[in-house]
Amino acid sequence: MGATTMFAAVSLDGFIADDNDEVGPLFDWYYNGDTDSTFSDEERVFNTTPQTAEFLKHSVDVACIVQGRRLFDITNGWEGRPAAGDHVFVVTHEPPAEWEHTDTAPFTFVTEGVEKAIELAREYAGDRDISVTPGDVGGQALRHGLIDRVVLNLVPVVFGTGRSYFGTGPMAEPAVFDDPTEIVQGKRVTHLLFDRSR
């Protein structure tokens, strides 16, 4: 079985977006270099430093994504094309009534909660990794003990308030991670990879 990973750009004070869901300078590092790189969608090309491109190549090689309805709505489901991997499992109370890509997009809407969505994603992925988007969905998965790895793409900016990388809510006990297994310095981003202590 592959790893279940949380991956996102994050501010120094732990936010993945501001209070209005704007990412501000958090994504600037995707376009501040001269090396082309992509996730699974080869039409979405980033221009990063060589170090960042190499890091992305192996850290975002996932079969599918588990995400929440908020991100789905903000991005309009990336117009029916997964940002990474081959399939997206969207945790939602109710699937969208009308979405122009419903019949063609590799998206599954899961109404039974985060645990069920990750179970379906794991079945889909087999031995490959899956990605769970940070925020409330990722935080719930962490609280259920379902996250194996956390990737922080740490950007030198402070928001003050916003959407927390780990969502909100109490932990039954601290989630402990090992020392970083990888630290890669890009341009205005530091990539940090942590595996959970088991």
Q: Does the pLDDT at position 198 exceed 80?
A: no
Q: pTM for the full model?
A: 0.94
Kindly report the CATH number assigned to the domain that includes residue 173: 3.40.430.10
| Domains identified in the chain, total number | 1
Print the domain residue range for 57. Answer: 4-195
Instruction: Evaluate if residue 40 carries a pLDDT over 80.
Output: no
136 or 42, higher pLDDT: 136
Nearest to 141 by CA among 40, 28, 46, 5: 5
DSSP string, 1-47: ---EEEEEEEETTSEEE-TTS--GGGGGGGGSSSEEE-SS-TTS-EE
Q: Which of 68, 86, 92 is nearest to 16 (CA)?
A: 68
Note the pLDDT of residue 192: 98
| Centroid of chain to Cα 179 | 21
Task: Report the C-alpha gap between 21 and 23 in whole angstroms.
Answer: 6
Q: Could you give the count of Cα atoms lying within 13 Å of 162 in the half-sphere of its Cβ?
A: 23
Query: Does residue 124 register a pLDDT over 80?
Result: yes
| pLDDT score of 170 | 87
Gap between the Cα atoms of 46 and 50, Å rounded: 11
Query: pLDDT by residue (tens digit) across 8-36?
Result: 999 999 999 999 999 999 999 999 999 99
